[in-house]
Amino acid sequence: MSRLRGKLLAAMIALVAVTLGVSALFTRRVTHEQVRRLLVARGPVDVGAAVSPLEEHVRANGGWRGVDAVIDRVAADRSARVVLATLQGEVIAVSPDLRGARVAVGADDRVTASGPSGKLMVKVAPAIVRDGAGLPVARAWVMPLDHAEPLDPEREMAAIDRRLVVSFAIAALVAVLLTVALSRRIVRPIEDLTSAVKQLGRGGSPARVRVTGGDEIARLAASFNAMADAVARQEELRRRLVGDVAHELRTPLTHLRCELEAIQDGLASPDAARIGSLHEEVLHLGRLVEDLQDLALAEAGALRLDKERIDLGIAVARFVGEQAEVVSEPGVVVDADAMRLRQVVLNLLSNATRHGPPGGRVTVRVATAGADATVAVSDEGPGIPAHELEQVFERFYRVDPARGRDAGGAGLGLAIVRRMVELHGGRVWAESAEGAGTTVTFTVPRAPS
């Protein structure tokens, strides 16, 4: 399961759990309050104190004539329902709220009252009513009232419904707020990415987006930042390209113009040395144009390779000649375009010679590394800073921007090397230590035996 999917699933589970929890909490509270209102008595009744007036009445009158007034007083004082019956269960008198109902006492001491508003059935222990001699003459049921006023079932059900609706409305509101918070947390990185992409599409400076977490969106943000850095580097290189190309073309053209104008004005004679200098400038312009054309074709994938099977050690030794020391393993055979391979080796050799000290040694090593053949060109120059080892293969990039073209070249050689090597299915990299020289190595797949 992906991290983003797990995050969404966890968010949904948390949302459902919180919603159900809030709903259950409010529903429990409403239900308990309503049940307590309907079923729980206001408080216990002192049965002995309630029966005492009945006993006084029977002792004073010797019977139950006029007992209704006593029961009314007891019911009012005690906020209770009162049922007075003989020992055999015959109802003698009841409190006012039961007089409109049919009241009966069962054999199990259960009191039942049936009337227009419903049926009441209560089972409580009766109190014994005694006469002056202390003999039991009747039984009395004293039952606390649930409410001071009679209950309306429809009104009570409506109250429950209203409270439940309010409870679920609160739960729904909590769910909506949580959904907004969670969705905002998940969607915000995507909105930041969208805004940055739009800014990049409008040609603005690519903005960086914040990377938080380790899910797919975070990896996408990291990839976008890497792309933005690459675009920024390419944009900087493009800006430098215009200036560098102009500079590379302006210098020889200015030299040619000045020399030709001097000859035209009679200030200089067209001798062999001057014509040779002009010829060198023309050759330099030709090489620059050819390099640009080769690089453009290689980057467009339109450069055709005429591959043939060659012994890499023998070919490199022929390319280098007396310009460097060649150390080669025997029998390193590759399928490559010999002309393009020569261009790669000579570009590396030219760089090594230009950046090395006068009279410094340049070494070229040909070896095998698994399924690849490697060619490493080493010099004894000042080296390249570690943070610039990858950038030296960019077009018109120079480690020292202040170098002129005589000392630093046009900055196209290593860019052409990388494209040519990649067309052969290999790779190229540079290794350097400050003050210990630089080694540029490229690989070419070895030919099958």
Q: Is it the case that residue 406 has pLDDT exceeding 60?
A: no
Q: Is it the case that residue 166 has pLDDT exceeding 60?
A: yes
Domain spanning 308-445, CATH architecture: 2-Layer Sandwich (3.30)
Q: Which of 184-188, 318-322, 372-376, 426-430 has the lowest mean pLDDT?
A: 184-188
More confidently predicted of 368 and 251: 368
How far from chain centre, in Å, is Cα 66?
Answer: 86
3-class DSSP assignment, residue 106: coil
87 to each of 21, 48, 129, how far by Cα in Å? 54, 18, 9
Cβ neighbour number for residue 79 with a 10 Å cutoff: 14
Could you tell me which CATH class the domain 217-300 is placed in? Answer: mainly alpha
pLDDT in tens, 82-135: 899 998 889 999 988 888 888 898 878 888 888 766 667 777 788 899 988 889
Q: What is the pLDDT of residue 405?
A: 47
Every domain of the chain and the residues it spans:
3-40+154-191, 47-145, 217-300, 308-445
For the entire predicted model, the pTM comes to 0.44
